[in-house]
Copies of this chain bind each other. A is one copy, B any other.
């Protein structure tokens, strides 16, 4: 006798929780994050690293505090990420001569090359991970999430 496993109910979030959109949101977000990390994996970085590389590439040398504020993460989170990038020679810390408490972080040439390579894969995310959505639906999703996000947007 085979016990019923309950696995046949296929939706990512079970019908019993269909009124809990937060569940659907977190399950989808987690799955997307993993696929995103997989997209960058052959470059030996994760999505979070690409975010840092991109920010440094666009906004030039930044203090870690600025980097954290711009990426909307805690300063302590940045330390590990920059450690990892620096360990691989993709970014460098150097003292700010005007304020020696500050470490300015900037991309190395190697980091700039990796950023360019990583940027090329972003299109793949749209194509593969979000393949189920048409262009219009994709923009709809972005718009809805953006609208929703105003609730937690820094007002200062």
Which residues of A pack against B, CB within 8 Å? 3-14, 16-17, 19-33, 35-36, 47, 50-51, 54-55, 58-59, 62-63, 65-66, 69-72, 99, 122, 125-126, 129-133, 137-138, 140-142, 144-156
Q: A46 vs B145: C-alpha distance in the bound complex, in angstroms?
A: 23
Partner of A148, one of B10, B54, B72, B130: B130
Interface CB pairs A-B, < 8 A, 27: A6-B62, A9-B70, A12-B152, A12-B153, A14-B71, A16-B54, A16-B59, A20-B47, A20-B51, A20-B125, A21-B138, A22-B29, A22-B36, A22-B129, A24-B145, A25-B29, A25-B145, A26-B30, A27-B72, A27-B149, A28-B149, A130-B148, A132-B147, A132-B148, A137-B147, A140-B144, A141-B144
Q: How far is the CB of A116 from chain B (nearest CB, A)?
A: 14
Cβ contact within 8 Å between B6 and A70: yes
Q: Give chain B residues whose Cβ lies under 8 Å from the Cβ of A144.
A: 133, 137, 140-141, 144
Q: Give chain B residues whose Cβ lies under 8 Å from the Cβ of A156.
A: 7-8
Q: A62 vs B3: C-alpha distance in the bound complex, in angstroms?
A: 11
